[in-house]
């Protein structure tokens, strides 16, 4: 794995885990229907983060482009999670913001 990608790969995997946890926690909320956008974005963001990490680990020529898209999705997911007061949403938003920053530095 290219050394310059190591911190971004870590941020991507941390974000994916936070998004997975947030989505499953949102499903356990009293009214999961109102969490629909949060859950949808959590799932998409987690998948994108894992894909970005994979492309970086492979040293793909497309890694920087994938990271750019990952940053956009992370930013959107973070904004959506930030609107909810639940602790899992706030922690997810933090992870999304860190990942978006790391991915922007790659692109």
- What contacts 2, CB < 8 A, 6 or more positions away? 56, 59
Mind listing the pLDDT tens digit for each residue in 28-82?
Answer: 999 888 899 999 999 999 999 999 999 999 999 999 999 999 999 999 999 999 9
Element (H, E) at 81: helix 63-82
Question: Domain range for residue 92?
Answer: 3-106
Q: Are 100 and 33 in contact (CB under 8 A)?
A: no
Number of domains composing the chain? 1
Q: What is the CATH number of the domain that holds 22?
A: 1.20.1270.360
Q: What spatial distance separates the first Cα and last Cα of the chain, rounded to whole Å?
A: 17
pTM of the model: 0.94
């Amino acid at each position: 794995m290219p050394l310059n990608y190591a911190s971004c790969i870590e941020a991507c995997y941390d974000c994916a885990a936070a998004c997975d946890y947030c989505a499953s926690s949102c499903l356990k909320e009293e009214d999961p229907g109102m969490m629909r956008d949060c859950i949808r974005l959590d799932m998409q963001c987690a998948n994108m983060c894992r894909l970005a990490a994979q492309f970086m680990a492979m040293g793909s020529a497309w890694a920087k482009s994938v990271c750019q898209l990952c940053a956009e999705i992370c930013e959107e997911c973070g904004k959506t999670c930030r609107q909810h007061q639940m602790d899992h949403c706030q922690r997810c938003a933090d992870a999304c913001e860190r990942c978006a920053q790391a991915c922007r530095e790659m692109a």
